[in-house]
Amino acid sequence: MIYETPELTAIDEDVLGQVADLRSDLRYYLSSPRRWYGGIRQAVFARAVQGSNTIEGYTASVDDTAAIIADEKPHSANEETRLAIAGYRDALTFVLQLASASVSIDVSLLKSLHFMMLKHDISKNPGQWRPGAVSVQDGDGSAVYEAPDRQLVEPLVGEMLEQMAEGGAAPMIRAAMGHLNLTLIHPFSDGNGRMARCLQTLLLTSEGERSPLFSSIEEYLGRNVSAYYGVLEEVAAGSWSPQRSARPWIEFCLTAHYRQAMSLKRRIQETEALWDACAQIASRHRLPERAVGALCDAARGRRLWRSFYVKIVKSSADEDLSEYQASRDLTSMTSAGLLATKGEKRGRQYAASPELRDVWAGIRKTRPPQVAQDPYARARSRMD
C-alpha cells in the first residue's frame, strides 16, 4: 500500500484553474521564438538545479551553478558540490530531452536517472536500490523518519509507478503523488529527495507539457526548505504511514506551482524589459547584437569570462564564436564603459559597470511589493 491520491475538493479544482490560467499567460510569452528565450531558459534551469541541490546541503550561488552547468569552473563551490550539481544537471537535461518523446516511466528509467546523479560516488550505490534499512536524521543525528523495510522497496515502487500511470487525476496531482511516494519509500541509499523532485518534473514532461522546465517547482522548494520538510513530516509522522492523508502535501504542491508561476511571469516580463534596454545600449555603442545576452547577464550581476561568453552567445544568439571574436567583443564592451575587468590574461573576468548595473536596478524598482500569494485563500473567498 502506498499513499493514495486524495479526492479533490471544489477548492482544489479552483486552485488548479488558477495555475492553468497562469500557465496560459506563460505560454503566450514562450510560444513564439523571442530573442531573450535562451537566456531565461538558462537562468530557470540553473535555479532549478541550484534549488534541488541546496535542499541536500550542496550550496552554490546561481552564478556558480550556471558555470557548472556550462562545464566551466565555478568561482567558489567546492569539488563535492560541483560533482553533485553536474550529476543533477545531467539527469534533468535527460528528463527535458524526453519532452518530445513518448515516455514510459519504469524502474529502469528511475535507476538510470539515479546513476546520472550519483555516479561520482560509488559508495552511494548509484543506480541500485538501497541494500538495507535507512532512516533520515536531523542536524543533531536524531532519526526523524524511518523508511519502510528493504523487502518492501520493489513492490512499493511498482505500486507507485502504477499510480502515476493511471489516468483521471491531473498531471500536477499525479506528479505530486509520485514525488511524495518516492521520497517516503526512500528506495535509494542517497539522493532520494533529488530523485523525487526530478521525478515530479519527469512526469510533467511525459504528459506533454510544452515547456516542462517552466513547470518545475524545484526552485520554489529550494527557497522554502523548512516548509517543504515540514509538510513531509506532517504527512509521514516519522515513519512509513500510507494510511495517513496526503491532502496537506497536495495543497502545498499546488500552492508551490502557483507561486512559482507567478515568479516566472514577473521574471519573464523583467527579462524582456532588460533585453530591450541592453539592445538599445548595444546599438548606441555599435556593439554586435550577439553581445546583448551577455550584457543582460552582467547587468544582473553575473561575472563573465571569455569561454563562458562564447557559451552565452551560443545559447542566446545561436552563434558560434572563435576565442578571438569573443575577446574582441569583451574588449569592445569594456572600452564602451559597460564592463570592468578583473585579473589578467586567462584569468581575466568581466563585471558590469555602474551604468549597466543601474539599468537592472531601474527595472527592479518598478517591481511591485512581494506578497506571498495564497491561491487557496483566493479560492475560498470566491466561494464565500
How do the pLDDT tens digits run along the chain, 384 residues long?
999 999 999 999 999 999 999 888 887 777 665 677 777 888 889 999 999 999 999 999 999 999 999 999 998 899 999 999 999 999 999 998 887 667 789 999 999 999 999 999 999 999 999 999 998 877 676 788 999 999 999 999 999 999 998 877 888 999 999 999 999 999 999 999 999 999 999 988 866 555 667 788 999 999 999 999 999 999 999 999 999 999 999 999 999 999 999 999 898 889 999 999 999 999 999 999 999 999 999 999 999 999 999 999 998 888 999 999 999 999 999 999 999 998 877 779 999 999 999 999 999 998 877 666 899 999 998 887
Q: What is the pTM for the complete model shown?
A: 0.91
What pLDDT, on the 0 to 100 scale, is given for residue 340?
A: 95
Cβ-count burial 199-237 (b if 16+ within 10 Å, e if not): bbbbbbbbbebebbbbbbbbbbbbbbeeebbebbeebbe
Q: Which domains does the chain have, with CATH numbers?
A: 38-262 (1.10.3290.10), 285-365 (1.10.10.10)
Give residue 384's pLDDT.
73
Is residue 67 within 8 A of residue 74, CB to CB? The reply is: yes
The Cα 31–Cα 7 span in angstroms is 33
Looking at residue 208, its pLDDT comes to 57
- pLDDT at residue 142, as a whole number: 75
Q: At what angle do helices 192-206 and 37-55 cross, to 10 degrees?
A: 140
Q: Cβ distance 197 to 91 under 8 Å?
A: no
Cα distances (angstroms) measured from residue 132 to each of 35, 125, 149, 152, 322:
51, 12, 8, 11, 52
Query: Helices 375-383 & 10-30, crossing angle to 10 degrees?
Result: 120
pLDDT score recorded for residue 212: 64
Contact by Cβ (8 Å): 300, 325? no
pLDDT at 223: 93
